[in-house]
Amino acid sequence: MIEAHDLTKKYGDLHAIRSIELKLEEGDLFGFIGPNGAGKTTTMRILATLLNPTYGEAYVCGHSIYTNPKEIRRLVGYMPDFFGVYDDMKVIEYLEFFAAAYRIRGPKRRKRCDEMLEIVDLDFKRDAFANTLSRGQTQRLGLARVLLHDPQVLLLDEPLSGLDPRARIEMRNLLRRLGQMGKTIIVSSHILPELADVCNKIGIIDRGVMNVNATVADVMKQVRQRTVLVVEVVGDAARAADILRAQESVDQVDLEKGQLIVTLAENMEQYSSLPGVLVNAGFEITLFREEELNLESAFMALTKGMGVKT
């Protein structure tokens, strides 16, 4: 759906972005992370054909940004980080105005606008003036606008910026729904936790350079080289720790607040025999699970020393 090769933009001697490589498939939700000024907006504007790169190539839905920009614009919905609304228009009028610009005509136009308001959960504001909406509602209205022509690709620049906690949760839920609808989405943010639980791929950019570009699963695997288990038993936890330390598959056991933190040996992923070892030793197991590593922790480990804002 989206490919970029050696994508570079220079202003004089300054590189806004440098040799960006990107490949996204249908349904991917790509979290584009980096501080303000890192190059996120430049990359998205190039993909939206609103800005020409200095060199490099990009394809959106198989179309080159150089040879077929009009077709790309038909297939893409681009939402900038800040956009204005017309003060004297009601919400439904605002959407109908843009639907007309997309050449959606007749009864289909009103039907499409009503559907978009329902998708972004803004139908209760359809007759309110656009300039009376809250920041979160305005962001959802902007998203409804870019969905009007049913684009295959969404480029959303900082859609969560400036939202209150409730509005951020609602927007993240909406992003999940759009991903489930098969949309390919690039959503940027300078704060990882805003996107950590919705994206399946992430890119970390700083000073125009993409330092990390991988699936969430690969990022987790890169950070965690060994499997770690969390175990709780009824009885003498210290004795249980000694028993586990004696196992060939176990490298280290730490006792933290009554829990056994068990680090397996390198390249050891199977641990199905360990519960049986404890049970045979007379222990009742109340907890046995693999320790979870969240994306935010992985991000901190990967970007250590990069200067990327978290």
Domains of the chain in start order, with CATH, are 2-222 (3.40.50.300), 225-292 (3.30.70.100)
**pLDDT tens digits, one per residue of 141-151:** 999 999 999 99
Strand partners, 77: 154
pLDDT (average), residues 41-52: 96
Question: Given a cut of 80, is residue 2 above it in pLDDT?
Answer: yes
Contact 76, 155 (CB under 8 A): yes
Q: Give CA separation, 271 vs 4, 125, 230, 286, in Å.
A: 41, 54, 12, 17
CA 196 from centroid of its chain's CA atoms: 6
DSSP 304: T
Give per-residue pLDDT as tens, 181-199.
889 999 998 877 677 778 8
CB atoms within 10 A of CB 81: 19
Task: Say how far apart CA 255 and CA 242 lie, in whole Å.
Answer: 10
> Whats the size of the chain, residue-wise?
310
| Amino acid 266: pLDDT | 81
Q: Which amino acid is at 66?
A: Y
How buried is residue 89: exposed, middle or buried, by Cβ count under 10 Å (0-12/13-18/19+)? Answer: middle
Chain segment 214-226, per-residue pLDDT in tens: 887 777 666 666 7
pLDDT grade, residue 16 (50/70/90)? very high
User: 84: buried, middle or exposed (CB in 10 Å: 19+, 13-18, 0-12)?
Assistant: exposed
Q: Residue 125's pLDDT is what?
A: 94
pLDDT of 222 reads 66
> Residues 41, 45, 46, 51: is their CA dihedral positive or negative?
negative
Asked if residue 35 has pLDDT above 90, the reply is: no
Please report how many Cα atoms fall inside a 13 Å half-sphere around the Cα of residue 109, on the Cβ side: 15
Of the pLDDT bands very low, low, confident and very high (cuts 50, 70, 90), residue 309 is very low
Read off the pLDDT of each residue in 29-53 and give the average, rounded to a whole number: 93
Higher pLDDT, 74 or 303: 74
Q: Is the pLDDT at 57 greater than 90, yes or no?
A: yes
Q: Are 293 and 229 in contact (CB under 8 A)?
A: no
Q: Is 114 exposed, middle or buried (0-12, 13-18, 19+ CB in 10 A)?
A: middle
Instruction: Quick: pLDDT tens for 166-176.
Output: 888 888 888 88
CA–CA gap between residue 143 and residue 78 (Å, rounded):
9
**Mean residue pLDDT across the chain:** 88
Q: Is the model's pLDDT at 305 over the cut of 80? A: no
Q: Copy the structure tokens of residue 45.
A: 């504007």
